[in-house]
């Protein structure tokens, strides 16, 4: 095969116009990496936030940078130290966000960040799982330590992270409230929410004595969430770091989650998907060449599920 591939890169930070479709060299996997032929990826808000430079103080990416941090594809080469994966394996991953991403025909990923793709899911569905699935898993299970019988409020239940959070919370045996618009009520109920709160016409802050709030929105929504928690409750945000002083005033514990790669958790998510216990909703699909349009869709905040990028090597 040619030693060149197509990739969407940025050479500077800015709006969607900085996205460039380039021909670059196919990377060579290190001893602990696999080379993946990418079948599909997906858009997450972190993609356009990195593109715009918002996260550069934290991540310090070198340029040019290939965006995209969800991947589903086939292993085509493996380093000498890789033992649990082999050429031909169908895999998926949320790779290290500090490295080049998956909006490319091939990418290298540390093997310990890679799990076998859920066999019950298409390439597109599988590509929609890793980042949002791990975010919901780590926020609710690892950080908040959600338990059966607890009451949890999930903000933005119709969003990609919210949809996974609802399903994982129900699988844990929690009672789930979620905020959404009325047009998405049927969707969130179908995913397992016990009560949908239309944020246009209802005030979620009237809820009391909740055990956990999962904040995917931040700002005023986070500020109004403190009063819904009981003493000893937990608030986990993926939007912005909660204020410790405000949390102390309400007698609750604040957390911030910035998702990390985790092969074991991906394997557990795959088991749930293969057992029919995890549904992946796809909002829309785009080609690699139309990535700017996919970014535009994500930036509206109106996507009802995952925005998928189909990549043909």
Q: What is the dihedral of CA 38, 61, 52, 10, to 10 degrees?
A: -50
Q: Is the pLDDT of residue 1 over 80?
A: no
Q: Is the pLDDT of residue 274 over 90?
A: yes
Q: What percent of the chain is modeled with pLDDT above 90? A: 96
* DSSP helix/strand/coil, 232: strand
Q: Could you give the CA distance from residue 69 to residue 239 in angstroms, rounded to a whole number?
A: 18
Locate tokens 């999962």: which residue?
214
Q: Is the pLDDT of residue 313 over 60?
A: no
Q: What is the mean pLDDT of residues 136-157?
A: 98
Cα dist from 6 to 19, 66, 145, whole Å: 13, 10, 42
> Confidence band (pLDDT; 50, 70, 90) for 302?
confident
CB count in 10 Å sphere of residue 141 = 17
HSE-up of residue 283 (Cα within 13 Å, Cβ side): 23
Q: Could you give the CA distance from residue 180 to residue 188 in angstroms, rounded to a whole number?
A: 8
Per CATH, the homologous superfamily of domain 4-129+280-310 is: Medium-chain alcohol dehydrogenases, catalytic domain (3.90.180.10)
Non-local (6+) Cβ contacts of 264 within 8 A are: none
Q: Is the pLDDT of residue 218 over 90?
A: yes
Q: Does domain 132-256 correspond to CATH entry 3.30.365.10?
A: no
pLDDT greater at residue 37 or residue 200: 37
Q: Could you give the CA distance from residue 283 to residue 8 in angstroms, rounded to a whole number?
A: 21
pTM: 0.96
Q: What percent of the chain is modeled with pLDDT above 70? A: 99
Q: What is the mean pLDDT of residues 91-118?
A: 97
**Which has the closest alpha carbon to 227: 202, 203, 255?**
203
Ordered by start, the domain boundaries in the chain are: 4-129+280-310, 132-256
């Amino acid at each position: 095969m040619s030693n060149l591939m197509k990739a969407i890169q940025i050479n500077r930070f800015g709006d969607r116009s900085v996205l460039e479709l380039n021909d670059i060299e196919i990377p060579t996997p290190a001893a602990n990496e696999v080379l993946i032929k990418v079948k599909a990826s997906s858009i997450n808000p972190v993609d356009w936030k990195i593109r715009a430079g918002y996260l550069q103080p934290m991540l310090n990416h070198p340029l040019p940078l290939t965006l995209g941090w969800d991947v589903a594809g086939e292993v085509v080469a493996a380093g000498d130290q890789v033992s649990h994966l082999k050429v031909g394996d169908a895999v998926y991953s949320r790779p290290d966000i500090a490295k080049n991403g998956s909006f490319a025909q091939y990418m290298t990923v540390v093997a310990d960040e890679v799990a076998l793709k859920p066999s019950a899911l298409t390439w597109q569905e599988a590509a929609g799982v890793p980042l949002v699935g791990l975010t919901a898993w780590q926020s609710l299970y690892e950080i908040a330590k959600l338990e059966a019988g607890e009451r949890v409020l999930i903000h933005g239940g119709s969003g990609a992270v919210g949809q996974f959070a609802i399903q994982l919370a129900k699988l844990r045996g929690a009672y789930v409230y979620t905020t959404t618009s009325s047009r998405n009520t049927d969707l969130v109920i179908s995913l397992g929410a016990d009560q949908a709160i239309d944020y246009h016409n209802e005030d979620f802050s009237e809820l009391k004595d909740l055990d956990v709030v999962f904040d995917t929105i931040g700002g005023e929504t986070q500020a109004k969430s403190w009063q819904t928690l009981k003493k000893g409750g937990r608030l986990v945000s993926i939007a912005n770091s909660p204020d410790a002083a405000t949390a102390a005033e309400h007698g609750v514990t604040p957390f911030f989650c910035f998702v990390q790669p985790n092969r074991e958790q991906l394997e557990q998510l795959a088991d749930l998907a293969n057992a029919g216990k995890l549904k992946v909703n796809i909002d829309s699909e785009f080609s690699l060449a139309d990535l700017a349009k996919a970014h535009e869709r994500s930036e509206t905040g109106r996507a009802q599920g995952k925005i998928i990028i189909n990549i043909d090597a």
